[in-house]
Structure 1
């Protein structure tokens, strides 16, 4: 009934406003109120607190606040139009005049606002004593038959369907277990609410004591108090807890629980269903292993076992040696713990860690160290092997030469190590570094530097070496170089200053042998070659330190985008170049919506790249998944990896081999030429095509193709007209001429930029 009256009043007010507007407009169409704020009417009044009241007038959208008695300012204003605004009447509002504030002034109503209260609360029983969950509470008043919900403090509520009884004058209901002390609220079907003046006191748990106070993780604790059957959870320090369903027993005066393995020293907290928490005044003290001793042995060395005795050893979750990481793999037989000494352990005490975060320490132990007795041969030529003899040499992980050149080693025995002397090593003392970081110095060793040509620093993993291309690298003693072989076959090469240039044949692919031959000796290396049958395209070329799952903003996680995979076919390779900063390194590959596509782990700190085959399923997922705002194909994240480059390797059915690049001008007087040696055509076949790329071709330009004897290599090739690039198909006779004398490319009035052989 009240809603009907209110709606009719609102319609009437709006009609009055419209009629007033028509009246003003009919008097003077070209005039308005000059932007003044005017109030014509407001309503409904009386209004039920918690409901909306409307104000009708002109330019009311400029009102900044509405002040209700007694001085209750409302700034949450709903603007329906410039001529109508509404506010919600607060529960504490009183009868009286209403003021509308705006910039530069205010308007006060001529009539007072009033309130209607169709239902009321006159009393709540009981209020003299506390009630607890399940006990009945009686609310007395008027029109309580209109109430659909009673809300307690703590947001617990009881719907009318669950009332014990309900009439116009009275509601009887049971206290829910989530209720807390305070005023109650009654609510009608329109969500109008009325607060009680009286407060209801709700009983809560009371903790008086617990036993024992010195506890071993996993043992039982008995808690005593009042109203303990209202407890939903027992919480221990260290964020370990036990919920009610897992209590050993529970009554109004006692709770018995099994303490968590992760229990820590500190107070006990009881959490009631109401959310109220009760904290004990006493603290739990947890037991840790004690009376520790280590069985005496002749020596302690990485890889050997130690036996630890003591009390309460079953609490141990990990054993930690000085300088080492926590070890969770050990044996406990009921009386002692047996654990293997790790490689990274150093002299010092052992700690037995518990799940509670506490630990107990043993006496210190002294570990065995490597001892060197001899080095042979001495003197030694660089790039030759030396043998280091002694004791406990199996602890050694690397040998460092006098000029800070470090070589990693894997000793085959405890008495000797064989290590190759680096090419740049110099005379001096060697430093042997053990796996725990300790070092041992040897006596000096004399190292003779080689007089043959060698590469001082091999190319890193990011250096691309392509078959069919010229590869350049710095060398020492370059003037001694007489020949270079790739996979056992001689190839063209030359040295300028300290840089050697080598042509990598098209047949080379993957791990390839590179041999430098001098009159006084030779040396071989293994290089990684990208074959001509594959094309590697770099799609990301910046450094991202994934750290420990670092975000994109922190420079860790990064994205690869869909355009980088345009036209890429299943069977292609996605290659990552990286450094493993700590093991294990982890890389997670996700689609644009962070759906995991692969989780990779790298345990070898020496690994520098990883190749994964792009399946059709993977390509479909990353190309057809959208985040709705970017062209993201994949998102890469992880830990302990520094990724510097990502590429896509595609494969082609045929390829061309570049045998020369540059800029050779062919003047009008025929004085320019390119001379290609016979070894460049070792892998050529009948049917292959020689391509010559050109620029700056003038009118009347001509090309010329001759053999090593300066005669035409085939009929009609002595000279011929050109207007751009030109080519020659290799016949059996041409192949014989090429492989015996090479090829001379000449002509006039153009510039050659590249010569290649295509299959």
Structure 2
């Protein structure tokens, strides 16, 4: 018997200090083997075991009639499918019981055959299979907290509640037995998400209430709006499964929303809202004088708290204000030509898309008046051109003029400004030109990107000075400044003409 105990790896049973072999007392020395499976035989070794009427395993009692062998030293039986982990109790005639000091456990092949396909957090799902009574806990995907409490639990079925934070994915079952397992289900549980089916009203202002209709909206933890920065809220006016009312945040913009479930999974909406904002139709007068009244007409102008101008100036006190018109007095400083923006009563910045021009009195600015302005440099002419900026042969005013002789049909007198923005604020280039023959010339610029602007041609009369006015707007894009300024021959070759008093107005 000692050899049998050692060879099977059995569990020690109930110790007893009475080792008298002549005693008629029932004794359980060992049982096992450990790790047996349901349907396999286990052995109980002891003394006077012929007095045992039944053996109670956790979950099931096996009467002696079902023992496969029964002697005073050995009892053998097949492990019933419903047996669970626990202590063994030998029941003896007359009501006596012997309980093992150690726990009998089994190698259990837990199997899952089906899982509920879709469920809403807070509702129950059913897992079906075999030996599910050996499952200690269930983990939903990556959710760290496992479910250890079951609505019902049997060998073939588990019913448990989906946690509110659960996400769509497979489940992990943690089992007991001599070889505890973590097993992942092949089946995926789809966790229901909130869904919006309609917005009312679809167009609204900051601070107004938006009503969202849909399904499972009671799952929404927060709502993320399209916005400037993070436009979201977790505070609702009211919330049910089919309707949610929320106040539109002050930094929300026109666009779709995201319904965020308690699992933090986002459910984007296909519907969008339009945020009602102030808009400009006209600015009058435009250009406007510093200190003069400016009338802004448009829509929703009652939402405007501040009008900002390019240059840094702003106005928050208006002469009058209505939903369709604002009248204000223009600042006298820190104003430049450029875009007008609004700050609303909800501190939302609105780009109006309208540009205001400021009338600014500027003193006369001469590029050349007997001498070249110190803010300009004379560069080598373009083509085979000679240029004399101190010529005295033919002068319009003062004592000197510029003489340019071209031996190239497209030569040019070339200047470079030290200040790339020298033309800003001016509208016209004025110069006086005298020809030796009737011909044509033109003005052209090259911007800081190295791109040539448009030729702006003018007529030259032989024998007399002619006043020429060229709109700066005709020269092309000077945004970002200019790098080179050309007065060009326009195809007549050879050609000589004189230039005097080049002025910006």
Give the TM-score normalised by structure 1. 0.31
Which structure has the highest helix share of the two?
1
Larger Rg computed on CA atoms = 2
Task: Name the structure with the higher strand share.
Answer: 2
The structure showing larger relative contact order (alpha-carbon pairs under 8 Å, at least 6 residues apart) is 2
| TM-score, structure 2 as length reference | 0.44
